[in-house]
Amino acid sequence: MASETVLITGASGFVATHIVDSFLRAGYNVRGTVRSKQTANKVRGTFPEYKDKLSFAIVPDVSSAKAFDEVIQGVTGVIHTATPFQLIVKDKERDLLRPAIEGTINLLRSIKRNASLVRRVVHTSSFADMLDMSKGDRPGYIYTEADWNPMTYAQATDINTPDIAAYCAAKTLAEYAAWEFMATENPPFDLVTICPPCVFGPVKNATASLSNLNTSSMEIYRLMAPASQPSHDMPPTLVPAWVDVRDVAEAHLKAFEVPGAGGQRFLVAQGNFNSQQIADILRDRVAEVRDRVPLGKPRSGLGDIFGCDASKSEKVLGLRYRPLEEAVVDAARSFLKLEQVNQCCATL
């Protein structure tokens, strides 16, 4: 394993940084793609103990046809996390769909052309690829790997389609395209896709700040931010399903290592949640923010909503999921550290 190198695209992201950590701790050499030298230096500083096992390649535009031709040389596996994530865009096709789909297919084509050592590609997909947003809370329904988001390309680009729905469609169509590539091109490597819902847990990426937290992390921080007012109503829950970021990282590592994972897609989820549950945990377990957190209706429960069956990931990948309380508390502690950084910068 010491001689194996894996490529991790989009290595500076919230989830990707934890994936980098998992592979480094498992003994792999990691080559990460980032958009600039400045970002590479920030990520490198996150892992000082692995300076001899972590390297970077600058890929400014993942949708460029030959963006990955050089960076995949000599790697035995590729973990593809890079994808555009914007909830407000000017052009859905230009800003969401084409980059997601073309970035994924360009990578797979590059691997087939240039990287004979690659035996597996693990693609970070999303629960958005499974969720049918038109069905709402869908009481009693259980989502599994058999489900697919039904939104089409034409629907996604429609002017009346919300940007969040277009983003979900972009993730779905990128995964569709990846599986279609595997079926039609018959490359010498296999494919695994990982589909997590809202991802909670500690922020580890050096590029993070309180002003640009990823959307899932903001689900927690908006309830404890200094501007929060306990008397305000509880905000709505974005998507009421979640998983810990450290378990998502472990899922990618196991997806690469476990022989039987090849050719499979995995729903990676701990269960359901709502904003009230997060608020209850913050008030109970993080004393520093207790007075900031909205009270809402404590212990009022989840209501009747859909469920997620992640048993396949437990059986095939051997995952054991962390509880919500651990993820929320560890996330909150990491946000408090970022607040301290902000305060220090403000006094300079």
Active site residues: 171
How many angstroms separate the CA atoms of 168 and 197, rounded?
A: 11
265-267, strands of its sheet edge to edge: 54-58, 29-34, 5-9, 77-80, 120-124, 190-195, 265-267
How many angstroms separate the CA atoms of 112 and 70, rounded?
A: 13
DSSP string of 25-62, one letter each residue:
HTT-EEEEEES-HHHHHHHHHH-GGGTTTEEEEE-S-T
How are beta strands 120-124 and 77-80 bridged, if at all?
parallel
Q: State the burial class of residue 52 (Cβ atoms within 10 Å of its Cβ: 0-12, 13-18, 19+).
A: exposed
The tokens describing 28, both together, are 């792999």
**Tokens 């004979």, residue located:** 116
Distance of CA 33 to the CA centre of its chain: 16
